[in-house]
Amino acid sequence: MRDYLLTLCVTAAVTYLLTGPVRKFAIAAGAMPEIRARDVHREPTPRLGGIAMFFGLCAGLLVADHLSNLNSVFELSNEPRALLSGAALIWLIGVLDDKFEIDALIKLGGQMIAAGVMVMQGLTILWLPIPGVGTVALTQWQGTLLTVALVVITINAVNFVDGLDGLAAGMVCIAAAAFFLYAYRIWYGFTIEAAAPATLFAVILMGMCLGFLPHNMHPARIFMGDSGSMLIGLVLAASAISITGQVDPDALKIFEGSTREATHAALPVFIPLLLPLTIIAIPVADLVLAIVRRTWNGQSPFAADRGHLHHRLLEIGHSHSRAVLIMYFWSALIAFGTLAYSVHSASMWIVLVIVALSAIGLVLLLLPRFTPRAPRWAESFVPPRYRRRAVRPAEPEQAPGSSSETGDEEPVPVPAGVNGATALSALPELHDRRKAGTRG
């Protein structure tokens, strides 16, 4: 665990320290597009934050290669090199898109090529655990198609959800934490070495997101852009592929008694990781709804709009920060709820806790105007919007006909039918007329 923590800290530190210079570079390079109709920010913000995240990925892999407990991953597996090759390709495509706005079909083709590069180097799905059947081996073309589909779906799901400050980085960090806990349990709990690459990928992904989040929280100083969203989506997919398609459930039958029982024991996380329906359920649901909505309206599935889940949260009255926190809450509930159920699937307490937290989440969704207030002893530790407002003393009532400033003049009469703007412009003339009548 100590080596993983060191890798996490190095990845986060490199990403954090490089994001500031990358921001200046993005401004100098003109990677600050104009505000579009679907955007929620109010002023142009530089992109290309994925540059810092990519170098954080490289730093994490480099450090892990020199640690005694982690270098075996590089010696016994080609998956780290496969990940780095695919990540470099998808990162270059994202950088070009952040600067020049390349066509959506070209990006889709680049995503498929990056996935194919990883498959050629061994990062692919070899088998699937099927309930009631056991382990089903896949042919080469079946594994290739399934791997490419999973990579493309995950990349676009993360890219679609990247619409609010800190949203994509935070949700992927939550998913990476769930990946890490599950893979670490398989690796050190069951001593299955095939789970070591997925554990390393997950901890590096956490470092990339944690290092970038301080610069990306609302109000964001820099956006990750497609160079960052597609990159972390690919790393997330690589972790899922490695833990799902590389770890043979037959190896678990030593601990579970049989292959079928081992498959059922691993099913609560194996299948969700394969289809990304729980760990990144929110981004995938947003992706599916966006495709259906745009196709129904006769638009291209890749046409941008303001119908995403985070846009709808803003429309019903949630603030920017609260919409992001609500998305965090649901992602963590689904990811860690599934993780807890996979460990103790026979416990009803886990199901009851998940149901209770889901009810709390629904209440938060239905109360967009509710603003919690911190107790007075904690007001110095929270933002001003969560502090109790001081009650101002009531102003003394003025006598009828007295002025608010001197009290010796009557209010200037305003003719009927005159609006506020006309009345303000006519005040000097009315005042002069009243004085002239007094003197006469």
Whether residue 134 is predicted with pLDDT greater than 50 in this model: the reply is yes
Sorting pLDDT into bands at 50, 70 and 90, what band is 330? confident
Q: What CA–CA distance (Å, rounded) separates 106 from 114?
A: 12
Residue 128: strand pairing partners: 136
Spatial separation of the C-alpha atoms in residues 390 and 403, rounded to whole Å: 28
The span from the CA of 311 to the CA of 163, in Å, is: 8
Q: What does DSSP assign to residue 134? A: E
User: 360: Cβ–Cβ under 8 A, 6 or more apart, which residues?
Assistant: none
* Domain annotation covers residue 286: no
Residue 229: inside a domain: yes
Banded pLDDT at 128 (limits 50, 70, 90): confident
Q: Are 331 and 276 in contact (CB under 8 A)?
A: no
Question: Is 311 among the domain residues?
Answer: no
In the prediction, which pLDDT does 83 show? 95
Number of domain units in the chain:
1
Average confidence (pLDDT) over 368-383? 66
Q: Is residue 146 part of a domain?
A: yes
Residue 57: domain span: 2-35+42-278
Asked if residue 279 lies in contact with residue 241, where contact means CB atoms within 8 angstroms, the answer is no
Residue 193 has pLDDT above 50, yes or no: yes
pLDDT at 419: 47
- Mean pLDDT is highest, among 216-230, 306-320, 370-384, 395-409, for 216-230
Over the stretch 381-435, which tens digit does the pLDDT of each residue have?
666 666 666 544 444 544 444 443 344 444 445 444 444 444 444 444 544 554 4
In a domain, 212, yes or no: yes
Residue 326: the pLDDT is 81
Model confidence over 162-185: pLDDT tens digits? 777 888 899 899 888 988 988 888
Q: Is 226 annotated as a binding residue?
A: yes
The annotation status of 69 as a binding-site residue, yes or no, is no
End-to-end CA distance of the chain: 95
pLDDT band at 190 (very low <50, low <70, confident <90, very high): confident
What is the full DSSP assignment across 169-235? HHHHHHHHHHHHHHHHIIIIIS--GGGHHHHHHHHHHHHHHHHHHHHHSSSPS---HHHHHHHHHHH
Quote the tokens at residue 200.
């390393």
User: In this structure, is residue 436 part of a structural domain?
Assistant: no
Residue 268 is assigned to a structural domain of this protein: yes
Alpha-carbon torsion (378, 380, 381, 383), positive or negative: positive
- Tell whether 13 is covered by a domain: yes
pLDDT in tens, 261-307: 555 555 544 544 444 456 566 666 777 777 777 777 777 666 666 65
